[in-house]
Amino acid sequence: MGATRPEDDAMATDTIDPPAPPQTDTITLTLPAELVRKYRAAPAEKREAWDLMLEIRLRIMIDPPTRTLEEVMADVGREAAANGLTQEILDDILQEWDEERKAARAGREGGL
């Protein structure tokens, strides 16, 4: 049998630590009282979703993306094509989505 190297043993027994959660801090925003009341009255999962949306929006306003939407969409298109998404498949997906959306709208309007 061949000799093992110390780094081989270390690699076999090392565990990968999960990434540390991002450091957070708290700020105070001045908002209309009614908005604050509704926020505080909402379920925790809704507040968490709103917090995330506000974080994303604030991040975009403070540190705008360096790439345009068109650049991102072009990259997504290239990746989709590389993964086998053809224009025909995309058209079928979009048509199905449009039909579902129209049916849902008709159901809502029919119930009025």
Nearest to 36 by CA among 65, 93, 58, 28: 28
- At a CB cut-off of 8 Å and minimum separation 6, what does 39 contact? 31, 47, 50
Domain assignment present for residue 82? The answer is yes
Cα gap 8→111, rounded to integer Å: 67
Cα gap 41→38, rounded to integer Å: 5
Domain assignment present for residue 33? The answer is yes
Domain assignment present for residue 23? The answer is no
Output the tens digit of pLDDT for each of the chain's 112 residues. 555 555 555 455 567 777 777 788 999 999 999 999 999 999 999 999 999 999 989 988 998 888 888 999 999 989 999 989 888 998 999 999 999 999 999 888 875 5
Same-domain status, 94 and 111? yes
Same-domain status, 74 and 105? yes
* pTM value > 0.85: no
Domain hosting residue 102, numbered range: 66-112
Same-domain status, 72 and 57? no
Same-domain status, 71 and 53? no
